[in-house]
Amino acid sequence: MGFYRAARRRPAARSLPLLLLVVLGLTVGGPAAAQEPDEAAALLERAATTMAALDSFHFELSTPRGQTLFLENLELAALEGDVLRPDSFRASATAKAAIVELSVDVVGIGTRLWVTDPLQEGDQYQELDIAAETGGGGASLVDLLNPDRVLLEAVTLIEEPSVAGDDEIDDAETTRIDGTFDLSRLQAAGTPVPGLRTDQPLPVSIWIDDEGRVRRMEIEGPLTTAEASDVVRRLDLTAFDEPVTIEPPG
């Protein structure tokens, strides 16, 4: 009888380590761990919420590689300005035509757009017909000049995001997220933007600071059908929620 009881106890003793492994597997690598949010996706979700809540910000748009079109036959060398939500922006653009460099000021409020004539002295604005004016490849001029219209949509539509590391931008610690930006999803998400190139997703990198604000964004590849395949756009953002006044040119 004593031998029988000992034999009955041995399997239970051997099963104890297995039971512990099962419990540890459930708590460390099982369903509970699988439910933890992905770090990159969580950072992007926070950034989307933070950026959507802003009233204003300053932006600088540059082209580290390739060419970005501004108006027909004009290359956009640099663009700097302010965005005032919900639908206003102002910017100073440097454009190139052959060997000539021109400066153009732009003001957009709602559905109205004004630009200065680079060939005239002083700030003499003329209002353009937004429906007729494009920035190359048929894309709307407003959509290309106001980063709030297209570029910042990448924050909410980035696919396959991953954390690529940490960087310091303007004395701010940031986390870099790499992924892809499918412009066809932008077209499907809201009002279609004419002239955008939607044949393939574009590599995108987004730098997010500790407060959830986007400090920098780089998109590799053409946004419009008129641009070369090697173009890279860089968008830098600062002066979040600082006072900004944008009025129609007098």
What are the pLDDT tens digits along the chain (250 aa)?
443 344 444 444 444 333 323 333 333 344 433 334 499 999 999 999 999 999 999 999 998 998 887 666 678 888 999 999 999 999 999 888 777 888 889 999 988 899 998 777 777 899 987 665 555 554 567 777 889 988 888 898 899 999 999 999 999 999 999 999 888 887 666 555 666 777 789 999 999 999 999 999 999 998 887 787 889 999 999 999 999 999 999 7
pTM of the model: 0.79
Tokens coding 178: 């790499």
Determine the number of helices (DSSP H) and then strands (DSSP E) in the chain. 6, 11
At 188 the pLDDT is 64
pLDDT score, position 72: 63
Which contacts (CB < 8 Å, 24+ apart) does range 141-144 have? 141/71, 141/113, 142/108, 142/113, 143/193, 144/68, 144/69, 144/70, 144/76, 144/223, 144/224
How far is 124 from 250, CA to CA, in rounded Å?
A: 9
Query: Residue 8: what pLDDT?
Result: 43
Element (H, E) at 1: none
Across the strands, what pairs with 94?
78, 103
Query: Hey, how many other C-beta atoms are within 10 angstroms of the C-beta on 97?
Result: 13
The radius of gyration of the chain's CA atoms, rounded to the nearest angstrom, is 26
Looking at the domain 39-238, which fold is it? outer membrane lipoprotein receptor (LolB), chain A (2.50.20)
Strands (E) across 112-238 are located at 112-116, 125-128, 158-169, 172-181, 202-209, 214-220, 232-238
